[in-house]
Structure 1
Amino acid sequence: MKRVVIVVITVVVLAIGTWIGWPREGGPVDPTAPESTGAFAPGSPDDFGSPASSTENDTGAPPATEEVEGQPGAGEPAIEVSAEPEFDETAPSEPVEAAWDETVRSAARDAARATIAAFAATDKTADDWWSGLKPLLTPQAQPVYQDVDPRLVPVTEVTGEPEVTDETSTLLAEVAVPTDIGSYTVLLTRADGAAPWLAEQIRPPEGS
């Protein structure tokens, strides 16, 4: 009887000791293991063995994209729109009607005189001679006279007053200009009534 009581007490003590030392959940407790917080520590591997992403901030949202210098930010146009070009509102939209009067004749005579004077300036270098004559010629006449050697031009000066000899057209005129070797004829033209007279041809005296 006494032996049975001792065996029973021993079994109860072992059962109590085992119950006290066994963890309540999940098996034996390692006293050296850090206490789990239920969240991954920064930089620690996640369930898939990769470190936690470092691109998220403390709120869990991805960081705002930084603007790059020289590049448009959000909401800004990619191309800068320049101002509209300005137009000269004073420029005539239609050609000015041409007509003959004493002012127009005087302008034609002056244009012819200036043309022959520049043509006769043979004492200048070829470049200076051309620089003086070119602005007085039409764009079509410039290639014709550009390669003229001024040393071969026989006329040297204007000796009298020019005279308009043909004014049949309001946009064309012929003007005779007296020189030291005879009368040169200058054919003038203009784009409209407001445009200047320009020389289209320089004709030497007949028989020269």
Structure 2
Amino acid sequence: MRRAVVVVLTVVVLAIGTWIGWPREGGPVDPSAPDAGVAAPGGQDEFGGPDASADDTPAAGGQVTGPVDEPVDGEPAAGDPAVEVTAEPEFDETAPSTPVEATWDDTVRTAALDAARATMTAFAATDQDADAWWDGLEPLLTPQARPVYQDVDPRLVPVTQVTGDPEVTDETSTLLAEVAVPTDIGPYTVLLTRADGAAPWLAEQIRPPEGS
């Protein structure tokens, strides 16, 4: 009787051990089989789990084929440097420099006499046509005086030549000067002006002799 019980218990234990080591699908796993320990196709093991190394495998060319960060709502993606680009400041190269102090001396006085002579010489060149007459006179006038003399008909200008040396008659201002210029019909007065001590003298007015 005892022998029969022992035999029955031995059979039960062997059956339980065999059942525990038996795979759920197919027969027992043979360690020497070619497919033993090889993950199932698609990067999954035999229990259907994902292969953890799939996303870490570099693609051709050495690049990682894992997920790529993308910008969200205009913000830089993770890992992108936060660079703020600012425009370079612009500088005005045409800004006026500091004015040069104006004074009176022999050089300044000579420049005023020459400017007055040149203005009256161009103004008295009435033997030219209107265009040529204006081309000679315009550069010697201030921007304010040009519209005044631009439409003058040289045929109506009574003076025809300068007959003597100019003379400064008023130099009380360092930026204004009056110069008398002798002509064939009497002395003309040329009012000159300059912007500062480095600027040239330009004619603001050409006044005919009194009573002419």
So what's the TM-score if we normalise by structure 1? 0.58
The answer as to 2:132 corresponding to 1:122 is: no
Please name the residue that 1:29 is paired with: none
How do residues 191-202 of structure 1 correspond to structure 2 at under 5 angstroms?
A: 191-202=195-206
CA distance in 2 between partners of 1:153 and 1:79 (Å)? 65
Q: In the alignment, is the contact (CA less than 8 A) between 2:99 and 2:196 conserved in 1? A: no
CA-to-aligned-CA distance 1:1-42 (integer Å, 9 cap, x gap): xxxxxxxxxxxxxxxxxxxxxxx96xxxxxxxxxx9458xxx
Pairing 1:137–2:104 present: no
Q: 1:107 maps to what in 2?
A: 111
Larger mean Cα displacement after TM superposition, 105-114 or 79-88: 79-88
- Once the two structures are superposed, residues 59-94 of structure 1 have per-residue CA deviations (whole angstroms, 9 ceiling, x without a partner) of 64479xxxxxxxxxx98x998966865859xx8524
Q: Report deviation, 1:148.
A: 1.0
Write out aligned runs for 1:20-59 (5 A): 37-38=41-42
**Pairing partner for 2:155 from 133, 151, 176:** 151
1:162-192 deviation digits (Å, cap 9, x = unpaired): 1111122222111111111211110111122
- Tell me how far apart the structure 2 counterparts of residues 148 and 79 of structure 1 sit (CA, whole Å): 58
For residue 173 of structure 1, what is the aligned residue in structure 2? 177
Identity %: 70
What is the distance in 1 between the residues matched to 2:155 and 2:168?
29
**Residues 175 and 81 of structure 1: is their aligned pair in 2 closer, same or farther, counting only changes over 3 Å?**
same
For 1:124, the aligned partner's letter is Q
RMSD (Å), alpha carbons: 3.5
Question: In the superposition, relative to structure 1, how do residues 61 and 197 fare at CA in structure 2: closer, same or farther (>3 Å)?
Answer: same
Write the letter of the residue equivalent to 1:128: A
Which residue does 2:98 correspond to in 1?
93
CA drift at 1:108 = 1.0
Q: Secondary structure at the match of 1:200?
A: strand
Q: How does the TM-score come out when normalised to structure 2?
A: 0.57
What's the secondary structure of 1:127's corresponding residue? helix
CA-CA distance at 1:132 after TM superposition: 1.4
**Structure 2 spans left out of the alignment, 5+ residues:** 1-23, 26-39, 44-57, 69-79
**Distance verdict in 2 for CA 1:140–1:86, change over 3 Å:** closer
